[in-house]
Structures are given as structure tokens and as C-alpha cells.
Chain A
């Protein structure tokens, strides 16, 4: 018994002394914690960037960053929300990387530190950032999170097949409808073995297909939630969803459209669909999955009509930070500047395929050389640069419900012959209902 007691006490003492040594050693260094959701290739690139920072800028300025993988973007958001609800800012990470769904929650926290304010407090500004990137994260006139991993939707196609038929990538949905029948492949029994396209459009696709119309359009008021919580949808009144659905139904009627909601990438890589709509950030993995099966081609998203010149919105993730003490805040800014510097964004782009958010990255020779070797990446960035920066993603509470409202109703329209007006009305009513509920739950008077 005595021996055990002595053992436990000595163990305790040893561990305490180690702890004391550890904390005294780093007392001059500011230790920053960065929560992220980058795994696989992204995780490796993240760790490499952090290591580079700690060795160079970090070592010079006395900052040490620790990157902590917190699971998927959703898991990370759930963790931040849980900590934030306790009201203890000290427990929040110094930086957290979240995707668009995080903005709706982040905007409600009093101690969220807007990036323009953070930059200004450090005698800096955000002029080095790409306009598209800044607009994509602008909330009530201020940049709420610093874009870091940026991507847009992209049109992928089987170039080998297109070449054999003598087709170019379609510029408009009408052109896609025209060629869709000849993209269909059939097996010996007459069953369809290859569709032209497999997709059921929902929030992600519609942000671009609606956003591009008339040079700039929105799904809801408040500029898709970038000026505050939306109160209602606008696509019914503006006729933008109608315009898109008319084309989409025509595409379905060619027999070349397959209403598939999951595993679209795998189908495409296996040669079971001739085209697909997916994020530019998938480019690296799709190239790998396709392998030598066929030559991959990419092109800008087909336009809904000739007036739909707005292009695509920038999506992806951004870095959020919170008000703490000023020394820590300026350390956060130093690290953010590093992550979004022209060189770091070039490295990040080459390793992961995400589009650079720093406007000067596009001017670096190394970047242009990389694009020449990988022309598909050039298509992705050209599409972004040609887009209207004000075409933005949708920030909406009940995002999950909205996602399914679009998806289910579009399927019903195609498979159960619901009229386009009826479909649009259903979606508008459902989403407006969710927004009413939300605004009522969060209102001040009752």
C-alpha cells in the first residue's frame, strides 16, 4: 500500500514539473490555436503551411501556431457553437476555418472580430484580396471571415467522348440540351449505360444558375443573406427559377438527365455520365479517379440564357476569429496574412486545387507556369475572374431544409410532371415558411 502511495505521489510530482517546465519555456511565445477541417491532401498542406510559418515569420515574431483537425466542417461548427454558448471567449480557438453554413451562426456572436476591423487595428487593409473573395464573405458591409480555401462550381466533361462526337463544351444550357441525346450510351440490351448528366440541382447549383441571370440575381432578399437574415425568397417574383427550370425540364426530356443525388463523381469517373457539375476543389481528386479511362475536360458552367452573364459565386471556407486581447489579435492577423499571402496561396493552390484568394498570386510566374502545365486549373480560375464578384452564395438559417426543398421539388417536377409554376410556388412557400418560423423564434417581441 505504502509503495503504491509513494509511486503515485512521485508520478504526480514528475508530471507537474514537466508541465511547469513546458509552460515556462514558452512564456514569451504567443501560442495560437487554429481549428480546421482539412484532412487527407488538404491536411498535409495545412500542416506544411503551419510548419513553414512557425519556422519563419512565427519564429521571428514570437508566434507559434498549432493546427487542430476537428473533423468535418460541420463538426467543427458544432464544436465552436457549443463553446460559444458557454459564453467563455477564452475557450474559443484563436482561428477557426468554417464554410458558408458557419456564417449564419458566427454573425450572432458579439465577440466575432470582423476582418476589416482586425486589419485596420493592425494598420493594414484587405486590398491584397481578390474582390470575389471579399464579396463572398461580406456580411452587413464588413468582411466577417477571411476567405482561405476558395472554390466555385465547374462543368466537367468526358473530353474523349466529346472529341469523338466533334462537340465542344456547351456554353449555354440550350447547347447542352441539343447535344444531350447523342451523349447517351446504350448497352447491347438497349439499357442506358451512360447518361449525359447526373444531377438534381439544389442550393449549390442554384446559387450559380440563379445568381448568373441578368448579370446578377439573388435567391432571397438581403442579397442572399449577406445584408442580414433573409425574410423571403425573390426567385418567384423575378422569374429566375422559372427560367432555369424550363431549361432543366427540357434537358430531362431528352432522356439524358439522370436524377442522381449521391456518388455523382464516382459515376462520372467510371464513365457512366458524360458530364457533371462539381466544385473546382474536386479537380485534383477527379483527375486521379478518372486516371487513364478518358481525357478530362472542364469548362465554365453553361449559362441559363444569353443574358445570364453573372458567372458563378465563390464558395469554400474562411477563417474566423474572435476578440481577445490585442497582443493575441495582432498575432492572429500576422498568421492570417501569412496564410493568404501570394506565396502561401500559390502553394495551397498547387497542393489542393483551391483557387487563390490573393489577387497577386495570379501575377506570379510560377502560378502561370503551373497553369500552363495544368490547363484545367486555368479554366477554373478564368471562370472565377470573369464572374461578377457580387454573385454570392446563400446564407440562410434552415439551410438543410432549403437544400431538400429545392431538391425534392425539382425531382417531383421531373418525375411527377408538376408544372414549373407549381414547383416554383411550392419552393417559395416552403422556404418563406422556414424563414418566417426562424424570424419569429428569434424576434424580440411576443
Chain B
């Protein structure tokens, strides 16, 4: 028996599949089967205790599209994305460029910038909640303006975007910094010898060379924005007046607060479709527009 297994194992073609089998098994049990189940369930009306009640076809989706709260949550998610993604990339790129050179002093900055990775999400969200309190928070005290952070739809969304950036900062910073530092120095040196300015060196040489990493960070940011939920749950609870209630948070509320599983399943299916579209598009753009070193 053992010999037979080994013989199969030795066959080059079968081997790789055997190696990924445990991972595939876990993915099936914890990702694919629940996923298929929720898509299936989204065509039923479902009782409060989770039992399928009766087949209703596309009724759940029709209700969802007619639901103002759903479209509002959808719009909120994109508002968040529009604020968060550029803010994230710009702030992180700035930090990366400022600390690009391997100097002694930069070591301190590197540690500071990577530190958010080591902090718990909920604790950071709670700290942000208190820092952004309009009249008693420290942020307004420092900047000296009376910004209605958590009391106004736009400012609340912006404060949540800052929280998102802070949460993603460490990892994204690490990725982009190492990408920049591992560039082929000879190309940069050659350009400098030819008299290229620092701006030119960055825009013509460094930036194209780090695009694979930059695109990776960009799409991860977009994905994070689409799926944002937990930090918002802690910081604003979707308020004020539901203005920071994103689509995944809405899903959470329907599933875990309202026991409205029919709505929850259909929202999760829709979110999957959008996420799949974005992934598909990003793969396409990546193939067309990214410079890879040969």
C-alpha cells in the first residue's frame, strides 16, 4: 500500500495536486461550499432561525434593488472608495519617497510607519473614534478648527477613510519601500550620469519599475474599500444617519442584527459579483499596462 502511494507520488504529474490537496480541502469546506450555499439560499425566503422557507426566485434581488437603504449603502461604499484609495496611495507613496534612502535616521521612520501593522484593528478604531470627537476630540484641538467630524456625512466618511489608511499603512509601506529599494541601481545611476533630474529619474525610471507592486497595492486598496466593515462598525456604527453604512456593514446588519438572511445572502452574492468584476478588470489592466522587468 505504502509503496503504491509512493509510486503515485513519484509521478511528476500527480504530485503537485497532492500537495495542494489539503489547502483545497480547507478552501472547499470553508469558502466554496458556504459560498455556493449562500448563492443557492439567496433565491429563497428564509425564516428568522435560518431555515429556508420557500423558493421565491429573484424576489430577494428585486426587493434589494427597490430598497433605498441598499442603494444608499452602495453609494456610501463608493464614496469611501473615492476618498480612501487616492488618499492611501498618495500618503503612502509620500512616506516611501521620503524614507527611500537607507540612512540611519530613516530606520526610525521605517519603524514608525510600519508600526500600525502591529496594532489591533478594533483598538485603533476606538482610539480614532475618540480622537475625532468634534468638540472634545484631540484632532480638532490640534488643528484649531471646529470640524464636525463624526456629526456630518462627509467629514465622518473622511475620518473613516483616514482610519482605513492608517490600518493599511504598515503593509503597503513595506511593500512599496522594498520595491523601490530593490530596483536595479545601475539603471538609476546611468540616468543620473546622463544628467536626468530627480523628478525625471522618479517619473521615467523608478515609477515604471515599481508599477507591479504599485498596482498590487492599488487593487488591494480597492478590494479593501469594497469590503470595509469592521473598522466602521467600531468607529461610527454606520452613523451619522447611516451615512457611513457601507454595503458589507449593511450585509452584517441584515444577517446578524435583523436575522433577515434572505436579504443578507443576496447582498453577499452581489458583493461577490462586484469583487469578481474588479479582480477581473485589474488582472486585465495589469497585463496591458504594467512594466515587468525581463
Contact = CB atoms under 8 A, between A and B. Distances in A.
Contacts of B87: none
Interface stretch (A172-180, A266-274, A365-373): A266-274
B171 interface: no
A441 B242 contact: no
B94 interface: no
Interface residues of B, number: 31
B71 interface: no
A238 interface: no
A84 B49 CA distance: 9
Interface in A201-244: none
Contact of B136 (A101, A104, A263): A263
Nearest to A409: B241
A105 interface: yes
B287 interface: no
Contacts of B262: 441
Interface stretch (A133-141, A158-166, A396-404): A396-404
B48 interface: yes
Contact of A404 (B48, B54, B242): B242
A101 B135 CA distance: 31
Nearest to A105: B259
A446 B54 contact: yes
A362 interface: no
A397 B259 contact: yes
Interface string B254-268: 001111101000000
A57 interface: no
A400 B150 contact: no
A440 B257 CA distance: 18
A266 B133 contact: yes
Interface residues of A, number: 36
A398 B45 contact: no
A442 interface: yes
A262 B236 contact: yes
Interface string B161-202: 000000000000000000000000000000000000000000
Contacts of B241: 261, 404, 407-408, 411
B53 interface: yes
Nearest to A272: B135
A124 interface: no
Contact of A261 (B53, B239, B257, B258): B239
B116 interface: no
Nearest to B253: A400
Contacts of A272: 135-136
Contact of B257 (A259, A262, A399): A399
Interface of B: 45-50, 53-54, 56, 63, 69, 133-136, 146, 150-151, 236-237, 239-242, 253, 256-260, 262
Given A441-B48, A443-B53, 18 more contacts: A85-B49, A85-B50, A191-B146, A260-B151, A261-B241, A262-B151, A262-B236, A266-B133, A266-B135, A267-B136, A399-B257, A404-B242, A441-B46, A441-B47, A441-B53, A441-B260, A442-B47, A446-B45
Which 3 pairs, one residue from A and one from B, show the smallest C-beta to C-beta distance?
A446-B54, A400-B257, A398-B258
Interface of A: 74, 78, 81, 84-85, 101, 104-105, 108-109, 191, 259-263, 266-267, 270, 272, 397-401, 404, 407-408, 411, 437-438, 440-443, 446
